[in-house]
Amino acid sequence: MIHFLAGIFFGYVYYWGFRFTLVPLTPLHGMFAGAVHGTLIMLFVAIAVLEHHPDKRYQRRGPMTGFAQLVGHIVYGLVVGFVCWHLAPNGMDIPHLTQ
């Protein structure tokens, strides 16, 4: 449930972040944002969660752990970009893009 709500929250973060930068949120831009987001989360999970987890089973990780997180976030960014691109085909109603 927390991950689901975080997904909705970060969808809005992507949307408002792109509105603030005046860049249209397209699927390609969403994939880039997902890659940046995934890289940050990959580092956070590796440092804060896995290394300091009290249960030894969760301290093991391999290269596929980070790769799966990165790919998942890129796909998430693609989906957010695709949804925003189709819901707001005029560049998310950014004034200089809709004139």
> How do residues 1-13 score in pLDDT, each as one tens digit?
888 898 888 888 8
pLDDT of the residue at 85: 81
pLDDT of the residue at 93: 54
How many residues belong to the chain? 99
Indicate the angle between helix axes 2-21 and 63-87, nearest 10 degrees. 60
pTM: 0.73
pLDDT of the residue at 95: 46
> How do residues 19-60 score in pLDDT, each as one tens digit?
788 777 788 988 999 999 889 888 887 777 777 777 777 667
Domain boundaries, the chain: 25-91
Give the three-state DSSP class for 48: helix
Give the three-state DSSP class for 62: coil
Mean pLDDT of all residues in the chain? 79
Task: Count Cα atoms within 13 angstroms, Cβ side, for 35.
Answer: 6
Q: Which string of DSSP letters, residue by residue, matches 16-46? A: HHHHHHT----HHHHHHHHHHHHHHHHHHII
With a cut of 80, say whether residue 63 has pLDDT above it: no
pLDDT of the residue at 92: 53
